[in-house]
Amino acid sequence: MNLFSYVFCLLLLFLSTQYLLFLLKRTRFSQKQLPPGPFPLPVIGNVLNHITNPHRSFAEIAKVYGPVMTVQLGYLTTVVISSATMARQVLQKQDLSFSTRNPWSAVSVLDHHESSIAFLPPNHQWTNLRKICKSFIFSNCRLDASGGLRRRVVQQLISHVQNHCAAGSAVEIRDAVLTALLNLITNTFFSFDLAKYGGSENQLKELVSAMVAEAGTLSGADFFPMIGAFDPQGIRRRSTIIMRKIFSLFNSIIDERLMSRKNSVSSEKNDDVLDAILSISRGKDKEFDISAIPHLLLDLFVAGTDTTSTTFEWAMTELIRNPEKLEKARAELRHIIGNGNLDKEEDIAQLPYLQAVVKETLRLHPAVAFLIPRKVSMDVHISGYTVPKGAQVLVNVWAMGREESVWEAANSFIPERFMESNIDVKGGNFELLPFGAGRRICLGMPLANRMVPYMLGSLIHSFNWKLEDGIVHMNMDDKFGFTVMKALPLRAIPFPSC
Ligand code: HEM
């Protein structure tokens, strides 16, 4: 037997054993009444049908298999939820059983998932982190107090757009908004800007974008654990390098601050989140370990920037594509604000159409199509089926927002549908869950709900917008990743508002 035949026989033996094991496991599961789903191929399961844009392909097959279905992604049994009734079961009625995360390759390097607010199981450490973030950043009273900071960040964004307006050149919307958001978060934590507009060298922006890209790449290692150690796509290797650089940047800022706290008199203290958490990490209760700060910062940068800039880009895209809706939103702003700037966030409360535009954007284009994947750590029963221990659970909020039986003209952008309705996005209406629901609901939702309408209102009130010359049709293709973003970035030209 030559070497080739020998290797071939070994491979065949390996695959047959794996398939037998798989069939055995499936028979065991079928006695437990797994939710229905497409029949899986040996070893690879259904993975090949769902590599690109799984939010769309899962929505399609849910029409056949129903709102709770099983899809076999290699070795990872995945249960996909696609209706409001089933989402209520998972996120409200049996919330605790479904609240553990399923951290994937890119986010578990350097043991990030063991300190991460987004990936820790719902234990004491996680509760403590959420409590700290709420009380120092996201409570209504903290957000009211930091309104001036957001005003300044939005003013910088307007100045950047103003330069393009004067030059008649296009703004790359997602990139501009990303810069604004990075500066909002760095100012909240450190009291200074770290990101710059334009093409100048921008270490933090590049690192965060690179981390988001790695976190959004489907990794074969997550579906086929036996190849995980080889890191075939290089995701773990690249994520480790990026995360190390981000941590080193944050650690140098923390060290500098510790030094200046040591040397300064108490009246010179910065009144920012870093100071507050450094104080509690030094307090006698040791509520917070200083080594957890870089992990927390990483989560807030990654979870807060890409989601918000993607949502903003879709809102601008839909408005430019539907000029009559854009004009209606601008007319409302003119009527309420007059010719001045939208400089107070509180004015948003008087702009119901602008708020409806944001809700409609979140319905059609929820940034995080499946929420952040959950996992069950024991068998859980739902609607007569068993979700087996270790299964990953995805809630397809993208499909639920386009469900024809719930939403009239589900694929059209019609903000008016929210004008006479009490449905909101805060986790109580299970047909509309862009921020998730239950105990793992998005931590930054109160900030996003202020920031998105404020930036959108400011940019459409201060400027009018058109596509670049020669572009007649807006390309609406989307691309699945950490967020479902527009495949071709929106570039639009601002011109003076009359
Ligand atoms: C439009 C903007 C945003 C959208 C659409 C969004 C969406 C989401 C979604 C769907 C989840 C998962 C919820 C679940 O599993 O039930 C999530 C979690 C999270 N979000 Fe957001 N988010 C946005 C903005 C933000 C901002 C601005 C921040 C912070 C600066 C943030 C921080 C987080 C964190 C830390 C988590 C993890 C919470 C946990 O696991 O306990 N998000 N977000």
* CATH number of 263's domain: 1.10.630.10
CA pair distance 346, 256, nearest whole angstrom: 36
**pLDDT band, very low/low/confident/very high, at 6 (cuts 50, 70, 90):** low
Ligand 1 atom index nearest CA of 119: 40
Per-residue burial over 334-363, b if 16 or more Cβ lie within 10 Å, else e, is eebbeeeebeebebbeebebbbbbbbbbbb
Considering 20-24, 30-34, 470-474, the range whose residues carry the highest mean pLDDT is 470-474
Q: Is residue 443 part of a domain?
A: yes
Average the pLDDT over each of 114-128, 249-263, 475-489 and give the range with the smallest value: 249-263
**pLDDT band, very low/low/confident/very high, at 3 (cuts 50, 70, 90):** low
Q: What are the helix and strand counts (H, E) for the chain?
A: 17, 12
Average the pLDDT over each of 341-345, 373-377, 457-461, 473-477 and give the range with the smallest value: 341-345
Check: CB of residue 228 under 8 Å from CB of residue 221: yes
Please name the residue whose Cα sits nearest to atom 21 of ligand 1.
442
Question: What's the average model confidence in pLDDT over 72-92?
Answer: 97
Question: 473 CA distance to ligand 1 centroid (A)?
Answer: 32
Question: What's the average model confidence in pLDDT over 306-327?
Answer: 97
* Whether residue 179 has its Cβ less than 6 Å from ligand 1: no
Specify the pLDDT at position 118. 98
Question: 33 CA distance to ligand 1 centroid (A)?
Answer: 33
Residue 9: pLDDT above 60?
A: no
Q: If DSSP codes are grouped into helix, strand and coil, which group holds residue 477?
A: coil
Q: Is residue 219 part of a domain?
A: yes
- Specify the higher pLDDT residue, 373 or 11: 373
Q: Is residue 21 part of a domain?
A: no
Residue 28: pLDDT above 60?
A: no
**pLDDT band, very low/low/confident/very high, at 234 (cuts 50, 70, 90):** very high
Contacts of 380 (CB under 8 A, 6+ apart): 94, 97, 98, 386, 387
Question: What's the average model confidence in pLDDT over 448-452?
Answer: 97
- Specify the higher pLDDT residue, 28 or 139: 139
Q: For residue range 260-295, what is the model confidence (pLDDT) as tens digits?
A: 888 876 555 677 889 988 888 876 666 778 899 999
Specify the pLDDT at position 30. 57
* Whether residue 440 has its Cβ less than 6 Å from ligand 1: yes
CA distances, 268 to each of 96, 260, 263, 271, 423 (Å): 44, 9, 10, 9, 46
Residue 422: pLDDT above 90?
A: yes
Residue 17: pLDDT above 80?
A: no
CA distances, 497 to each of 217, 323, 328, 415 (Å): 40, 14, 14, 22
**pLDDT band, very low/low/confident/very high, at 341 (cuts 50, 70, 90):** confident
Question: 299 CA distance to ligand 1 centroid (A)?
Answer: 9
Please name the residue whose Cα sits nearest to atom 17 of ligand 1.
442
Q: How many CA atoms lie within 13 A of 213 on its CB side?
A: 9
Residue 14: pLDDT above 90?
A: no
Domain total in the chain: 1
Q: For residue range 214-226, what is the model confidence (pLDDT) as tens digits?
A: 999 988 999 998 8
Q: For residue range 358-410, what is the model confidence (pLDDT) as tens digits?
A: 999 999 999 999 999 999 999 999 999 999 999 999 999 999 999 999 999 99
Check: CB of residue 462 under 8 Å from CB of residue 341: yes
Provide the percentage of residues in the chain whose pLDDT is more than 90: 78
Q: Is residue 341 part of a domain?
A: yes
Whole domain around residue 425: which residue ranges? 32-496
| 133 labelled ligand-binding | no
**pLDDT band, very low/low/confident/very high, at 19 (cuts 50, 70, 90):** low
* Whether residue 485 has its Cβ less than 6 Å from ligand 1: no
* Whether residue 304 has its Cβ less than 6 Å from ligand 1: yes
CA triplet 169, 174, 179: central angle to 5 degrees? 95
Specify the pLDDT at position 265. 63
**pLDDT band, very low/low/confident/very high, at 32 (cuts 50, 70, 90):** confident
Q: How many CA atoms lie within 13 A of 283 on its CB side?
A: 11
Q: Is residue 44 part of a domain?
A: yes
Q: Which one of 143, 307, 355 would you pick to mutate in the ligand 1 pocket, going by the greatest count of ligand atoms within 8 A of its CB?
A: 307
And the tokens for 325? Answer: 């809706």
Residue 168: pLDDT above 90?
A: yes
Specify the pLDDT at position 109. 96
Question: What's the average model confidence in pLDDT over 288-314?
Answer: 95
Q: Is residue 172 part of a domain?
A: yes
Question: 311 CA distance to ligand 1 centroid (A)?
Answer: 12
Specify the pLDDT at position 10. 61
CA pair distance 495, 498, nearest whole angstrom: 9
* Whether residue 71 has its Cβ less than 6 Å from ligand 1: no
Residue 85: pLDDT above 80?
A: yes
Specify the pLDDT at position 342. 86
* Whether residue 301 has its Cβ less than 6 Å from ligand 1: no
Q: Is residue 2 part of a domain?
A: no
Residue 210: pLDDT above 80?
A: yes
Q: Which one of 88, 139, 430, 435 would you pick to mutate in the ligand 1 pocket, going by the greatest count of ligand atoms within 8 A of its CB?
A: 435
Average the pLDDT over each of 84-93, 162-171, 201-210, 438-447 and give the range with the smallest value: 201-210
CA pair distance 439, 95, nearest whole angstrom: 7
CA pair distance 370, 55, nearest whole angstrom: 7
Please name the residue whose Cα sits nearest to atom 7 of ligand 1.
435
Q: Is residue 52 part of a domain?
A: yes
